[in-house]
Amino acid sequence: MDPLIMKILVLVAGVLALGFVGYLTVTILRESEGNEKMREISHAIRQGAMAFLRREFITLAVFTVVIFIILAVFIEPKPLVGIAYVCGTVTSALAGWLGMNIATKANARTAQAAIGSWAKGLKIAFSSGAVMGFCVVGLGLLGLSIVAFIWNDSHVWLGFAFGASSVALFLRAGGGIFTKSADVGADLVGKVEKGIPEDDPRNPAVIADNVGDNVGDVAGMGSDLYESYVSAIAASMVLGVLTLGMVKGMYLPLLLSAAGIVASIIGALSVRPKDIVGANFEKQVVRAHATMNTGVYVSNILMIIASFFIIKGFVGELGLFWALISGLIAGFLIGQATEYFTSAQHGPAKKIAKSAESGAAVTIIEGMATGMMSTVIPVILVVIATVLAYIFGGLMGIAIAAMGMLINLGMLLAMDCYGPIADNSAGIAQMAGLGDEVRERCEALDAVGNTTAALGKGFAIASAALASLAWLATYFKVANIEIASLTNVGVIAGVLIGGMLTFIFSALAMRGVGDGSFAIVKEVRRQFREIKGLMEGEAKPDYVACVDIATKMALKSMILPGILVLVVPLILGFTLGPESVAGLLVGALVTGFIMAVMMANAGGAWDNAKKYIESGALGGKGSDAHKAAVIGDTVGDPFKDTAGPSLNILIKLVGKVAVIFGPVFIVLITL
């Protein structure tokens, strides 16, 4: 095929994604935002979310400038890697901003639509999730391909992915600390000290708490997967150029991604919820899940067919096709395993609920054991996918497998980001007093959202692991490493230090939540003390102050982990050599991947065990078992929403630093 035509096809797919985003945005904004109270709440959440993004982006901008200067001064080709880095940062930040903007505009509209029709509520929430999803794939593909079309140099492409990583550090790791600080801080003063209900608008931290849902699960999740998506494509391109030559190697991954966007759009369009007359809660949940699954199946099948023809046409033989399929299937099965281990319908969460009858300690131990056991299937699936992909397609096969897992990201992310919007809509329905029927509908939407969010977490971790493996392969090529043998003590040292990084990172993230929630508690107490009439509902609290404090604390808590992840690979590379850095990546990968799965699934299972008891089992709300389950859930929150997700960032970011600075290690060593 003519390169010009391929260029056009890729760009068209990217534009198509953004066009689809525009179409979805128009359909969402056409809907009514409901009564004044609903608009007010939604507006406050949006205002808070934007305040969070503003502060994050200011710090990110400073960070970006610093890194840009370092790259522009030290990394060849100068200053192109630096420029590509900035492009990666800007596009990812833009995707996060657009997604958050719409998500916070859709929450009240979802609740309002649910007044008329359950199906319409589902449609709006899903559509606004899709805005995030297609912003990510559209801007990701457009950004990376334009960089690649302008600069025909693989080092530059890698710079773009590094930029995406930086945003993920801020939005995912920082967002994770924010969301739990706000959550815990709001509860500690509101529920415990003042005895006011969970979502009470008098609580100055209530908006920060609601913002947190969007920050963690929309912007954070989006930037995390933006990073994986771009990394997998960039790694495939770099390895592809080495395997298939410049033209085929560069265009094959881009065209596959373009096809993925089309398949995902068709998938998303085939999510057509219908109202079920007289359906109960359970039926609505099952139906909502099935409706969205249709989209996944459609896009998966389309993509399997499309990739068969694309790879057949490009390469002639089908090795890379099988590599792509192995990633795609592994991603799907990991989602299923995640659901089994976390959903309240299955054994593990029920067993944790049962153990809650013996008290909090047993609940914690059982949850930890469950989380640990739940790592087995994801690890085995990633191993099988990696080994098969390597057998079928060599190192490039591994990168293509990572792409396979992420190829329908538009559709999958729509499902993931649907969750927090449904969650917010249920909150708004309650706060605005929309009545039992509407509330139940919104809660049915939310219940599905919990499942898709859990699936999304498992999927995000697995794709981070596979993307990191692809990036490891890229590192070997870029740093010109033929061998990084475990017989080399420097490699072993790297593995151990990489493993240690995971534990420092998790500990600091969890500590960050502690410090952040403490700061929130102080601020909330201050407002109750100083703002007259607040407790009586006569004065308004300063919501933005709480958002601001939580953001500041989150940023502060990220300084040390951020520095560590940037500096440790460099120190190792310059002292023990580039092979030791390979060890570091592997050490961080194995511990980070497994710990992330463990924490996410333990957290999810504790959460659902609590909900299972709250649904009336084992004595229901207020029983001793419930109290124990609440403690489990509270431990699980920073596990699944802060420490676990931040490990995704760790394992990807160390890889980026290694790849970008890899050539420098070699230069210095040969000096």
Task: Report, in Å, the least distance between residue 205 CB and its own copies.
Answer: 16
Among 299, 602, 257, 264, smallest CA distance to 458 is for: 602
By beta-carbon proximity to its own copies, the closer residue of 127 and 506 is 506
By beta-carbon proximity to its own copies, the closer residue of 39 and 611 is 611
Count the residues in the chain.
Answer: 671
By beta-carbon proximity to its own copies, the closer residue of 333 and 492 is 492
Task: Report, in Å, the least distance between residue 660 CB and its own copies.
Answer: 19
Task: Report, in Å, the least distance between residue 584 CB and its own copies.
Answer: 10
Task: Report, in Å, the least distance between residue 631 CB and its own copies.
Answer: 5
By beta-carbon proximity to its own copies, the closer residue of 43 and 556 is 556
Task: Report, in Å, the least distance between residue 67 CB and its own copies.
Answer: 26
Task: Report, in Å, the least distance between residue 213 CB and its own copies.
Answer: 20
Task: Report, in Å, the least distance between residue 191 CB and its own copies.
Answer: 12
Task: Report, in Å, the least distance between residue 253 CB and its own copies.
Answer: 20
The gap from C-alpha 454 to its chain's centroid, in whole angstroms, comes to 11
Q: How far apart are CA 240 and CA 334, in angstroms?
A: 27
Encoding tokens for residue 542?
A: 């300063």
Q: Give CA torsion, residues 273, 225, 212, 614, to 10 deg.
A: 60
Among 327, 432, 335, smallest CA distance to 385 is for: 327
Q: Evaluate whether 225 touches 406 at the Cβ level (below 8 Å).
A: yes
Among 657, 653, 646, smallest CA distance to 176 is for: 646
Q: Evaluate whether 307 touches 383 at the Cβ level (below 8 Å).
A: no
By beta-carbon proximity to its own copies, the closer residue of 498 and 604 is 498
By beta-carbon proximity to its own copies, the closer residue of 344 and 521 is 521
Q: Evaluate whether 47 touches 546 at the Cβ level (below 8 Å).
A: no
Among 169, 141, 144, 152, smallest CA distance to 67 is for: 169
SS3 state of residue 162: helix
By beta-carbon proximity to its own copies, the closer residue of 566 and 597 is 597
Q: Evaluate whether 422 touches 497 at the Cβ level (below 8 Å).
A: no
Q: Give CA torsion, residues 442, 447, 448, 453, to 10 deg.
A: 120
**DSSP secondary structure letters along 617-643:** GGG-TTSHHHHHHHHHHHHHHHIIIII
Q: How far apart are CA 342 and CA 196, in angstroms?
A: 30
By beta-carbon proximity to its own copies, the closer residue of 15 and 372 is 372
By beta-carbon proximity to its own copies, the closer residue of 55 and 477 is 477
Burial class (CB in 10 A: 0-12, 13-18, 19+), 189: buried
> 618 — alpha (psi -120 to 50), left (phi > 0) or beta?
left
Q: How far apart are CA 550 and CA 181, in angstroms?
A: 6
By beta-carbon proximity to its own copies, the closer residue of 11 and 590 is 590
Q: How far apart are CA 207 and CA 620, in angstroms?
A: 29
CB contact set of 57 (below 8 Å; sequence gap of 6+): 93, 97
Task: Report, in Å, the least distance between residue 160 CB and its own copies.
Answer: 25
Task: Report, in Å, the least distance between residue 82 CB and its own copies.
Answer: 29
By beta-carbon proximity to its own copies, the closer residue of 432 and 635 is 635
Residue with tokens 């609903």: 38
Among 27, 158, 37, smallest CA distance to 537 is for: 37
By beta-carbon proximity to its own copies, the closer residue of 204 and 583 is 583
SS3 state of residue 316: coil
Among 405, 409, 381, smallest CA distance to 470 is for: 405
By beta-carbon proximity to its own copies, the closer residue of 158 and 484 is 484
Q: How far apart are CA 124 and CA 31, in angstroms?
A: 9
Q: Evaluate whether 612 touches 349 at the Cβ level (below 8 Å).
A: yes
Greatest extent of the chain over all pairs of C-alpha atoms, in Å: 77
Task: Report, in Å, the least distance between residue 333 CB and its own copies.
Answer: 16
Task: Report, in Å, the least distance between residue 223 CB and its own copies.
Answer: 25
By beta-carbon proximity to its own copies, the closer residue of 449 and 638 is 638
DSSP state of 487: T
Q: How far apart are CA 95 and CA 245, in angstroms?
A: 32
Q: Which helix (H) or strand (E) holds 415?
A: helix 409-431
DSSP state of 433: T
Q: Evaluate whether 569 touches 479 at the Cβ level (below 8 Å).
A: no
By beta-carbon proximity to its own copies, the closer residue of 196 and 362 is 362
Task: Report, in Å, the least distance between residue 168 CB and its own copies.
Answer: 22
By beta-carbon proximity to its own copies, the closer residue of 281 and 503 is 503
Give the residues lining the site for its own copies (CB under 8 A).
188, 355, 358-362, 364-366, 368-370, 372-373, 375-376, 379-380, 382-383, 386-387, 390, 398, 469, 472, 476, 481-487, 489-493, 495-500, 502-504, 506-507, 510-511, 513-514, 576, 582-583, 586-587, 590-591, 593-594, 598, 630-631, 634-635, 638
